[in-house]
Amino acid sequence: MKSIRPIIPGLVLLFVFFVFTLLICVVDVQPIGAALSEVGFASLNGSVNDFFGAHKSLYTLTEILGYLTWGVVAFFGLLGLSQLVHRKSLLKVDRDIILLGIGYAVMLGFYVLFDKLPLNYRPTYPWDEGVLEASYPSSHTLMLVFVMATAVLQIIRRMRKSTLRTVLIAACIVVAAVVTIGRLACGVHWFTDIIGGLLLASALAALYCGLIEDTPIKTRKEV
């Protein structure tokens, strides 16, 4: 029987995420922000939001960078499709690519869940249209961090050491960091939204990393 040790870090992070989510529902819940929506850790969130204020240019930058998520997802989707066409069997597609697809589906599942069952709403900002939007966890943080973290794992697995590999890894890390910090600093999320997105993304990425440990790939220079 295969050891579950490789996925323990991911399971621990997932547990921490659920505990943190529960705390948001019960600790210092107050109506704050221009919309006076009920938000957990209200004093902390209100203070951080007041400190950063609202910045539309930074918001626009994070929106643009967010589109990279779908580009990366499409790339690995096409890689899996290419393997399926050439190898003529789903069972012959690299296991890490199949698991990556499952990971994307789970990520989107969490996004839909929290969008349909919002725990709190975004702070209102000067350029919005007064529509309340689900805020926890930050969807940009969740998707960018998970997609870029798993992209780094794929780059390491499929590319030999080179300047290009280093540049691609650095680019993934920078994009994820800029979007995470930017979503907080531009004023469209509460501080706990960002933490929740980071925790969930890290948990899913750690689970993926554990599941593909020691998983061979049939070709190395595919990315």
- Residue 207 in any domain: the answer is yes
- Residue 223 in any domain: the answer is no
pLDDT (0 to 100) of residue 10: 94
- Residue 27 in any domain: the answer is yes
- Residue 202 in any domain: the answer is yes
Rounded-to-integer distance, Cα 217 and Cα 96, Å: 8
H helices of 27-120, in order, are 42-52, 56-87, 95-116
pLDDT (0 to 100) of residue 126: 65
> pTM to 2 decimals?
0.90
Give the end-to-end CA distance of the chain in Å, rounded to a whole number.
32
Range of the domain at 166: 5-211
> How does pLDDT run across 152-173, given as a tens digit for each residue?
999 998 888 899 999 999 999 9
- Residue 142 in any domain: the answer is yes
pLDDT (0 to 100) of residue 134: 87
Tally of domains within the chain = 1
- Residue 43 in any domain: the answer is yes
Q: Which of 66, 68, 87, 88 is nearest to 76 (CA)?
A: 68
- Residue 135 in any domain: the answer is yes
Q: Count the Cβ atoms, other than its own, within 10 Å of residue 22.
A: 12
Ranges of the chain whose pLDDT falls below 50: 1, 219-223
Q: How far is CA 48 from CA 81, 110, 146, 165, in A?
A: 44, 26, 25, 37
The answer to whether 175 touches 144, Cβ cutoff 8 Å, is yes
Rounded-to-integer distance, Cα 144 and Cα 30, Å: 29
